[in-house]
Amino acid sequence: MKILVTGGAGFIASHVADAYIELGHEVVIVDNLSSGSKANLNSKAKFIEVDITDKAKIQEIIRQEQPEAINHHAAHIQVGYSVKNPQFDAENNIMGLLHIMEAAKEIPVKKVIMAATGGAMYGNKATPFTEEMKAEPLSPYGISKRAGELYLNYYHELYQIPYISLRYSNVYGPRQNAHGESGVIAIFSEMIAEGKVPAINGDGTHTRDYVYIEDVVRANILALNSSFVGELNIGTQTEISTNEVWRKVVAEMGVSIEEKHVVERPGEQVTSSLDYSKARKILGWEPSVNFDEGVRRVVAWYQNK
Ligand SMILES: NC(=O)c1ccc[n+]([C@@H]2O[C@H](COP(=O)([O-])OP(=O)(O)OC[C@H]3O[C@@H](n4cnc5c(N)ncnc54)[C@H](O)[C@@H]3O)[C@@H](O)[C@H]2O)c1
């Protein structure tokens, strides 16, 4: 199958592109390299440097390439920046998707998989979050992802384009950008590997649900072959505090450093964890790499980088 992977120079989609190529699919990657890197590109993929906000260019590419499926990961992903500049977030995450879908409906593509968010989708509710809970995103980033899902539902209803929105929890693994505002495992690992002492925001008791990249890739493979249409949580239903992340990374690095805390970022969600029973029922998906093993692999990757 010919698959257009957007954001394929980035962390998650570069692994997805690798897996699709490994399975024998033909992959075309589009990326503007704003946070992605050419080093992540699979040499067997065709790479086109383009910004998905450039309507004419991205639509021309889709018309020329005629992909059978689109795996959409290109997005602006910084929640804090989305609060400061909601328009920028909407231009990339909502308008970018619309440019793609308006060309996709002409072909028409047979399947769209979109990376959404589970962590920023449900607002401040009791954990674990299920897909049946009302989506009440509290940030422009979360709103842009929910809007994307609603648009995909529209293209499905009107143009019969099947879609699956994968609502990831906090994804971690090799190649994650350690210079953004999220990705605490990458940030801690890279800083400690460079001999620096990372700081924990606040008292470190906030929890997140960390899902390993290999499991996220498997969800993207299963989604490609599934006839399901709709939203699926992809997480572990396990809550891990930032303090636990810090201690685990420090232990795996084999260093002895004192915990350092700085003032909490305002508006931070306190807890987050995703119920993945729907993904298990529909895709046969469940996480296979536990947190200890995942951190071990990430730390080894940063130490050998
Ligand atoms: N990392 C996580 O924990 C997580 C959690 C939930 C959802 N997601 C979603 O998964 C996707 C990938 O995230 P990631 O962690 O791999 O981030 P990333 O920054 O590594 O990847 C995003 C890629 O998209 C590209 N890109 C951004 N804006 C673009 C534009 N306008 N045109 C073309 N390319 C553009 C970037 O250059 C980058 O290569 C995003 O949609 C993100 O919202 C990530």
The predicted-structure confidence for 234-249, as pLDDT tens digits, reads as follows: 999 999 999 999 999 9
**Residue 168 appears among annotated catalytic residues:** no
CB 15 less than 6 A from any atom of ligand 1: no
The CATH superfamily label for domain 2-170+211-234 reads: NAD(P)-binding Rossmann-like Domain (3.40.50.720)
Each residue's pLDDT, cut to its tens digit, for the chain (305 residues) gives 999 999 999 999 999 999 999 999 999 999 999 999 999 999 999 999 999 999 999 999 999 999 999 999 999 998 888 989 999 999 999 999 999 999 999 999 999 999 999 999 999 999 999 999 999 999 999 999 999 999 999 999 999 999 999 999 999 999 999 887 779 999 999 999 999 999 999 999 999 999 999 999 999 999 999 999 999 999 999 999 999 999 999 999 999 999 999 998 777 788 999 999 999 999 999 999 999 999 999 999 999 88
Question: Residue 112 class from Cβ within 10 Å (0-12 exposed, 13-18 middle, 19+ buried)?
Answer: buried
What pLDDT, on the 0 to 100 scale, is given for residue 182? 74
Q: Delimit the domains of the chain by residue range.
A: 2-170+211-234, 176-209+237-273+289-303
- Tell me, which fold does domain 176-209+237-273+289-303 have in CATH? UDP-galactose 4-epimerase; domain 1 (3.90.25)
What integer best gives the mean pLDDT of the chain?
96
Tokens of residue 182, six digits: 């999220």
Of 77, 122, 209, 214, the one to substitute when testing ligand 1's pocket (max ligand atoms within 8 A of C-beta) is: 77
Interval between CA 7 and ligand 1 midpoint (Å): 6
Question: How many Å lie between the centroid of ligand 1 and the Cα of residue 139?
Answer: 16
Nearest CA to ligand 1 atom 13: 12
Q: Tell me if 281 sits within 8 A of 169, measured CB to CB.
A: no
Which residue among 20, 122, 141, 210 is the active-site one?
Answer: 141
Examine domains 2-170+211-234 and 176-209+237-273+289-303 and report if their fold is the same.
Answer: no
Supply the residue whose CA is at minimum distance from atom 2 of ligand 1. Answer: 171
Query: Could you tell me the two tokens for 150?
Result: 């609603």
pTM for the whole structure: 0.97
